[in-house]
Structure 1
Amino acid sequence: MQNEKWSFKPSDLVTIPNILSYLRLILVVPFVYYFIRGLYDDPRHYITAAVCIVISGLTDCFDGLLARKLNQVTSLGKILDPLADKITLIAVAVCMVIYIPALLPLMLVLFIKDFTMLICGLVLLVKKIPLPASRWYGKVATVVFYISVTVIIFLKAVYQYENPTLILVLFCITAAVMIFALLNYSKMFLDILKENKNKE
């Protein structure tokens, strides 16, 4: 596994993929705002919250693809993309626990996964090893999470439908996919450390 050296240019700040990551970070604020308003004020605000999540999920799907297609893969992007993912996931998780307290155990699984990946990333930074690009299983886990949340919010906002069994099933599937991604990322992390040690 070859790891390129860190590099940064001012132009990296305004690449299309990185702008999409900025947008994903910004969308956290209106999502939380409208979700809370839907919870305590008018359920119709859930629709706006769901739109925010859909847009966020789409930017997450396309930023990596555009980075490769436009040859705009940057070291900054490799930090911004997972950072935007984690902040969005945490915000959504907190909102969902407020909405359905029984989901707390499943949300803890998501927190453990993201916290573990954060620690791994920090270890690589300390060792001055470039962070690897996101892998397909990480993207799949994120997309499944977005789909689950969007379905729950949409059914509640549009049809006033709330089925605890459906919610539990969706988040069990999400947790399983997240654990799969965590195991694969952990293996990749250990492989990178092993390779780096062999080069020393």
Structure 2
Amino acid sequence: MQIKNKNFNIPNALTVLRMILVIPFMICYLNGYVKTAVVVLVIAGLTDALDGFVARHFNQFTELGQVLDPISDKLTQGAVAISLAVRHPVLLPFLMIFVVKECIMLVAGGVLLKKGKKPCAAKWYGKLATVLFYVTFVTIMLMDMFRFYHAGTAAVMLLITAAFMILALVLYAREFFRILKSNDPEDQIDLAEMMDKKKRLKKE
């Protein structure tokens, strides 16, 4: 059984950093500083890979981290998708797929919390969809940066990424229904108890 460590650890710090990086990314990209925006996005992608590696390697799993990780992914992906769609309106259909997918997952997470169940933790298929997302959008940004944007190439990459996002949604839906029906203590969560623990830790 994996040990639940304190919330103040390296993986959670990396996750919070990824959430914060959304702001400078959007400011840079929407104001034409594409090179700087690409660097910020690459750093965000590295934190996404590193937080999971550190958590697994040093056994630094926390319930807070399981909640924050998918939220930070959604914030980053949303910022990138919106920014690119503003500069390239042809990407709006992909943005709609992304918005629908994330809204469904957000509602599903809220339903689980209301039922006293833990939201679905990030899975390999979700991470794979995230990696493809980063690769696709960094590639499009590089095309922007070097002024050789090709709509056909962008469309193919976006279709592949969209297909994996839809696959991830289907697999997460299966996990959602499993957790919803589960009586396993590992799938249960008590938010009031979590808040009490947090208050006790602050007093210590």
TM-score (norm 1): 0.87
Is it true that 1:162 corresponds to 2:149 in the alignment?
yes
Is it true that 1:109 corresponds to 2:97 in the alignment?
yes
Separation in 2 of the partners of 1:195 and 1:130?
A: 11
Is it true that 1:48 corresponds to 2:53 in the alignment?
no
User: Which amino acid in 1 is paired with 2:79?
Assistant: A
Separation in 2 of the partners of 1:196 and 1:122?
A: 18
Tell me which stretches of 4 or more aligned residues in structure 1 moved more than 6 Å. none
Contact 2:112 2:118 in 1 (8 A): yes
* Counterpart residue number, 1:16: 10
Separation in 2 of the partners of 1:53 and 1:160?
A: 19
Is it true that 1:173 corresponds to 2:143 in the alignment?
no
Percent identity over the alignment is: 42
Structure 1: segments with no counterpart, 5+ residues = 39-44
In structure 2, which of residues 175, 178, 181 is the aligned counterpart of residue 194 of structure 1?
181
State how 1:16-165 maps to structure 2 within 5 Å. 16-38=10-32, 45-157=33-145, 159-165=146-152
Structure 2: segments with no counterpart, 5+ residues = 188-204
Q: Which piece of structure 1 moves more, 59-68 or 139-148?
A: 59-68
Separation in 2 of the partners of 1:46 and 1:65?
A: 29
Separation in 2 of the partners of 1:138 and 1:172?
A: 16
Higher-RCO chain (CA-CA 8 Å, sequence separation at least 6): 1
TM-score (norm 2): 0.85
Separation in 2 of the partners of 1:161 and 1:18?
A: 38
CA shift for structure 1 position 195: 2.0
Name the count of aligned residue pairs. 184
Separation in 2 of the partners of 1:171 and 1:193?
A: 32
CA shift for structure 1 position 98: 0.3
